[in-house]
Chains A and B, each alone.
Chain A
């Protein structure tokens, strides 16, 4: 079973993403455990399937406002819905891929699946998930880690 101590890998991946890509730190709140299978989502969600030594999903979910500003911080002028969806998938992919630094090559990740404008479609394969709250500028987002 995924251990609470292992959540640190994802916290570091999240803070590193914002510091490097946006050149602006994000604040990570205390991670909490959700056991009812409903960790929640914002308007845009990038979902990464995990197979191999660990099984489950990692997803990054954020509102459009945050993703728009993040794109602009990356000097991207095209803030179309397509690019917003691209970005939310790329954030999920980057944080999940970086986790292989600690979990190794058998932490096998899929290409991102993006869910937009349909919060009910965002589901987890197990009832138990860790949620990492993320605050950046005036925006809130979260990273959800649902692994066996």
Chain B
């Protein structure tokens, strides 16, 4: 049986960001019909716990967070499920950080600040490459 993200209908989305307004913004602004938000976490450690519990297919991931940063969290999530699609959403605009996130297993990078359209384009691109 094909269990890949491509073969699924509705996909579960988890949002990880230490900013409540960014978490709410992503939830409100994402218009991808296939995505259903199953949870939101405010740091990497909480995200790992929520990831095990909710088993999302797609994750948006901030990088600069307390307790466990986003790069470390990406590594942990990939170790749990290498099929998960991760879009890093961060203000860290240097190329080296984007490359590091991709090397650790992220699938895309969206720089803050972002418009609703940029967010949806980045999510569409993420899903189209799955």
Contact = CB atoms under 8 A, between A and B. Distances in A.
A107 B92 CA distance: 10
A119 interface: no
B64 A16 contact: no
Interface residues of B, number: 24
Interface in A84-134: 86-87, 89-90, 93-101, 103-105, 107, 109-111
Nearest to B43: A111
**B-side interface mostly:** loop
B66 A111 contact: yes
Nearest to B111: A98
A96 B91 contact: yes
Contacts of B113: 16-17, 20-21, 94
Contacts, number: 67
Interface stretch (B15-23, B53-61, B73-81): B15-23
Nearest to B25: A74
B128 interface: no
A93 B24 contact: no
Given A75-B28, A89-B19, A20 B115 contact: yes
Contacts of A23: 115
B1 interface: no
B91 A94 contact: yes
B20 A82 contact: yes
Most B Cβ at <10 Å: residue of A94, A96, A98, A111: A94
Nearest to A20: B113
B129 interface: no
Contacts of B94: 100-101, 103-105, 107
A76 B112 contact: no
A100 B21 CA distance: 23
A83 interface: yes
A87 B114 CA distance: 15
B33 interface: no
A111 B19 CA distance: 10
8 contacts: A21-B113, A23-B115, A71-B21, A86-B19, A97-B93, A98-B91, A98-B93, A105-B94
Interface of A: 16-17, 20-21, 23, 71, 74-76, 78, 82-83, 86-87, 89-90, 93-101, 103-105, 107, 109-111
Interface of B: 18-22, 24-25, 28-29, 64-66, 90-94, 96-97, 111-115
